[in-house]
Amino acid sequence: MLFFSKNKIFSLLILAVSFITPFPAFCGLLSVLFALIAADALGFSKEQTGNGLLTYSVVLFGLGLGSNFESGNAFYILLIVGSLLTLFLSVSLNAILNKRGLPALSLAFIISTCLLIIASKSFNGIGLTHRQVYWYNQTYAIGGTQLVNFITAIENWKLPDFVSGFFRSMSAILFQVNIASGIILSIGLFIYSRIGFLLMVYGYAVAIIFGFLMGSTYLNDLSYYNMGTNFMLVSLALGGFYIIPSIRSFLWVLIMVPIAFLIVTGVGNIMFKLGTPVFSLPFCLTVILFLYILKLRKKQHKLILTPIQYYSPELNLYRYVNGKERLMSEHYFSLQLPFMGEWMVSQGYDGSMTHRGDWSKAVDFVILDQEMKTYRIPGNLPEHFYCYNKPVLSVADGIVEEVVDHIDDNEIGGNNTQQNWGNTIIIKHAEGLYSKLSHLKKQSFTVTKGAFVKQGDILAYCGNSGRSPEPHLHIQLQSTPHIGSKTMAYPFSYFTIRDKNKFKLESFTAPKEGNFVTNLIPNASLKQAFNFQPGYQIQVTAAGFATESWEVCSSAYNETYLYCKELKSYAYFINNGTAFYFTNFFGSKNSLLYLFYQVAYKVIMSSDKSLTVEDYFPLNTFQSNSIKWLQDLISPFYLFIRMRYTSTVKHDENLLQNTAISFESMQEQELFWSKKKLFTGITRITNGQLDSFTIQFNNQTIEAKCSN
């Protein structure tokens, strides 16, 4: 947690480096042991203490005490008491700040250590040590002459001051001041997170440059601890951990590191008079202050707070970028188009005729024939128009808020500007979300005010009332239930667009003027096959693989996932009734579940137009290599690698009974302007059940059979 990481290999490396000065490391381990025993005695669960959030301040306390004070009876008593005080402070501060969405960071360590330093002046049984000055003696005790000579050789490297300063600052996070520790930690950080390493270098450089430009005399007096813990970790925390890494987060680091510098200088002078170091207080104050300010915004704008913390800047970024586009169903109410069959958008958002000002975010629909006419000859009566008297559907479930049903249709070419909206129905779908359908036919309503309607229910029929020179259907979304309310931009969930007899799937967008649009027609067999309910089990077998048992489970947060018992693997998914798609995979990539995650990454529950679905895998799901590491380094600014996924649903041979369906899928690597096919797959559905899936990659074919 000192480096905002949950990577176990990196944590073992940090643990090993801490033992270059063994006594402080030993004290850190003892502190954690005391804290865990106390937490267990107080009734805290392993889930509360196991993630390190409540105990990493305790580690810092033990490291700091072991680095600065002589051992003895009084020392060990204070180690126990101080460790428990740090735990109590950590629990309390986390509880207080987490309610506001803020981290407690290392505030507990700072408070307890400063109190101990001030109090120690009254204790004759404990005193300051020169252990840090003679740290070679400690190193000799664990590694002998060879280790000392190795570290000494590194210390004697002819490195520029700013380079050696960076490595010493890195080691100072563990209360050390040697280049070797800093190099090892830097390598470990780079392997764990390229963005994290880049931000540490960036924060250090910004601090050095700012101090130089200010002509600060204090710069030469800064300890490596201040330089490392404060400026470098401010950059890491705000540039890529609590905020999604981006060019904007990097630009804000240019401001926040100098603010931390001012706090180091000002608060450091105050604390010096009290006889205590500034420790990581500037880092804590700077990060908490900036995050608190961001929490007060009305909207996230373009500086995005990390929505789900994966404890990796790369993972946070890739998951956010991937989810921003494909998880729209989690952010929007699902709305369908309000009609059957194909209609054309005669006027869209910001239309040139009537969609202006407060009423600009609305859509008008008509029906055209093959000659692009809205009517049949002679076209002088409303009933000559193709859309007239066609059923108008509810876009989603809701309660009827208002019905106007007394206005006569206009003659063709006429306009009723006194009753602008004509016959209208307003439906409440959620708080602050209403749909309004207007220009309907008089006395054609099938529902009344106060009625509950479901998505797809017939509400009325298309007419020519109100400001309507010819029959058409007007729809708008609004935040209030009143006729005449201003419109709001809001997307329709899924629909198709026809262009020269080719169909394209659109999701969570508004149709544009001139589009020929249709609702998706669901396929019952597909919907049944992917209706994975908790408790449902699947047996999967394939040559060369052990049999896998998958079970559909639900988490405490109502997330549904497929769980492979044999390989302890998890594939999280969402099924919104129209689309099935995976959102996350954790576990063995040598499992059949991972292969299914790849071939069935996203499937549309419709087969009437053989639509091709396009999507992208998050980059973190694939193996690291040199190109991937280069992408990690520049990912906050530009993504040059994308893993594209496509799938197309097709009927098999039994078309009439519609019992056999398959969908073909493919993954392509897009590297700059080149494309490389990585795999192709086929998934088969028989009688509404998942029958089998096949995947081809690297000149091999794997076919898996599925059974309930």
Is the Cβ–Cβ distance between 513 and 346 less than 8 Å? Answer: yes
pLDDT for the residue 221: 47
> Using one digit for the tens of pLDDT, what is the confidence trace for 468-487?
999 999 999 999 999 989 99
Is the Cβ–Cβ distance between 704 and 693 less than 8 Å? Answer: yes
User: Quick one: 699 exposed, middle or buried, by C-beta within 10 A (0-12, 13-18, 19+)?
Assistant: exposed
Closest by CA to 446, choosing from 464, 479, 423, is: 423
- Confidence band (pLDDT; 50, 70, 90) for 216? low
Report whether pLDDT(145) > 90. Answer: no
pLDDT for the residue 48: 81
Place of tokens 């059974």: 707
**Amino acid identity of 553?**
C
Tell me which of 158 and 475 has the higher pLDDT.
475
pLDDT for the residue 664: 92
User: Quick one: 45 exposed, middle or buried, by C-beta within 10 A (0-12, 13-18, 19+)?
Assistant: exposed
pLDDT above 90 as % of the chain: 58
pLDDT for the residue 655: 46
| Angle ∠(551,553,557) on CA atoms, nearest 5 | 165
CATH number of 343-518: 2.70.70.10
Is the Cβ–Cβ distance between 35 and 88 less than 8 Å? Answer: no
Least confident of 87-96, 217-226, 262-271, 345-354: 217-226
Alpha carbons 589 and 695: distance in angstroms, whole number: 14
Q: Is 476 helix (H, G, I), strand (E, B) or coil?
A: strand
CA distances from 6 to 81, 148, 310, 633 (A): 28, 31, 9, 20
- Confidence band (pLDDT; 50, 70, 90) for 279? confident
Token output for 210: 């700012």
Residues paired with 584 in a beta bridge: 572
pLDDT for the residue 257: 94
Tell me which of 606 and 392 has the higher pLDDT.
392
Alpha carbons 14 and 24: distance in angstroms, whole number: 13
Report whether pLDDT(134) > 60. Answer: no
**Other Cβ atoms closer than 10 A to 321:** 18
What average pLDDT does the chain have?
Answer: 88
Is the Cβ–Cβ distance between 434 and 410 less than 8 Å? Answer: no
Q: How many residues does the chain have?
A: 708
Report whether pLDDT(293) > 90. Answer: yes
pLDDT for the residue 323: 81
**Other Cβ atoms closer than 10 A to 463:** 29
Report whether pLDDT(557) > 50. Answer: yes
| Angle ∠(505,510,514) on CA atoms, nearest 5 | 80
DSSP 44-106: --HHHHTTSTTTHHHHHHHHHHHHHB--SHHHHHHHHHHHHHHHHHHHHHHHHHHTTT---TT
Query: What are the start-end ranges of the H helices in 193-348?
Result: 194-214, 224-225, 233-236, 247-274, 281-295, 313-326
pLDDT for the residue 329: 66
- Confidence band (pLDDT; 50, 70, 90) for 256? very high
Residues 372-379 have a mean pLDDT of: 93
- Confidence band (pLDDT; 50, 70, 90) for 658? low
Alpha carbons 74 and 639: distance in angstroms, whole number: 56
CA distances from 495 to 36, 362, 454, 609 (A): 55, 17, 18, 12
Report whether pLDDT(72) > 90. Answer: no
- Confidence band (pLDDT; 50, 70, 90) for 125? low
Alpha carbons 128 and 21: distance in angstroms, whole number: 16
Report whether pLDDT(545) > 60. Answer: yes
**Other Cβ atoms closer than 10 A to 565:** 11
Tell me which of 660 and 381 has the higher pLDDT.
381
Q: b vs e for 443-457, b when ≥16 Cβ sit within 10 Å of the residue's Cβ?
A: ebbebeeeeebebeb
Residues 539-550 have a mean pLDDT of: 93
pLDDT for the residue 324: 77
Residues paired with 500 in a beta bridge: none
* Domain ranges within the chain, ordered by starting residue: 193-311, 343-518, 524-707
First to last CA, the chain: 43
pLDDT for the residue 245: 95
Residues paired with 438 in a beta bridge: 474
Token output for 420: 């602008």
Is the Cβ–Cβ distance between 232 and 169 less than 8 Å? Answer: yes
- Confidence band (pLDDT; 50, 70, 90) for 699? confident
Residues 157-174 have a mean pLDDT of: 86
Q: Are strands 423-430 and 458-461 parallel, antiparallel or unpaired?
A: unpaired
- Confidence band (pLDDT; 50, 70, 90) for 267? confident
Report whether pLDDT(354) > 60. Answer: yes
Alpha carbons 523 and 687: distance in angstroms, whole number: 12
Alpha carbons 237 and 574: distance in angstroms, whole number: 31
Alpha carbons 582 and 615: distance in angstroms, whole number: 11
- Confidence band (pLDDT; 50, 70, 90) for 225? low
pLDDT for the residue 90: 95
